């Protein structure tokens, strides 16, 4: 979905992938939010970012349940900023 995206979107995707590979779900969530807020995205890109956000939220919840304090903090921050 992001092969023909603008450079800032491609950069965010690269950072997102790196965060996921490192299981840094709070950083992945933040990068996905960046993708969701970028102007001039195509509908396909917006949908992919939204699906990714849902998936990462699930990963954060799983990590929190396993005692990951960073994931718990990210979820608390998400709740307060909604």
Q: What angle do CA 39, 22, 19 make, to 5 degrees?
A: 5
- List per-block mean pLDDT (blocks of 10 residues) for the chain, which spans 82 residues: 90 95 94 90 92 95 94 89 72
- How much is the pTM? 0.85
pLDDT at 47: 94
pLDDT for the residue 62: 96
Q: What pLDDT score does 80 carry? A: 85
At residue 72, the pLDDT reads: 93
d(C-alpha 20, C-alpha 23), whole Å? 5
| SS3 state of residue 3 | coil
């Amino acid at each position: 979905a992001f092969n023909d995206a603008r450079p800032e979107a491609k950069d965010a995707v690269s950072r997102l992938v790196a965060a996921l590979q490192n299981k840094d779900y709070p950083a992945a969530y933040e990068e996905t939010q960046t993708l969701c807020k970028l102007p001039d995205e195509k509908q396909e890109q917006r949908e992919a970012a939204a699906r990714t956000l849902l998936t990462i939220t699930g990963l954060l919840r799983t990590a929190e349940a396993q005692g990951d304090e960073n994931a718990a903090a990210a979820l608390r921050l998400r709740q307060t900023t909604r």
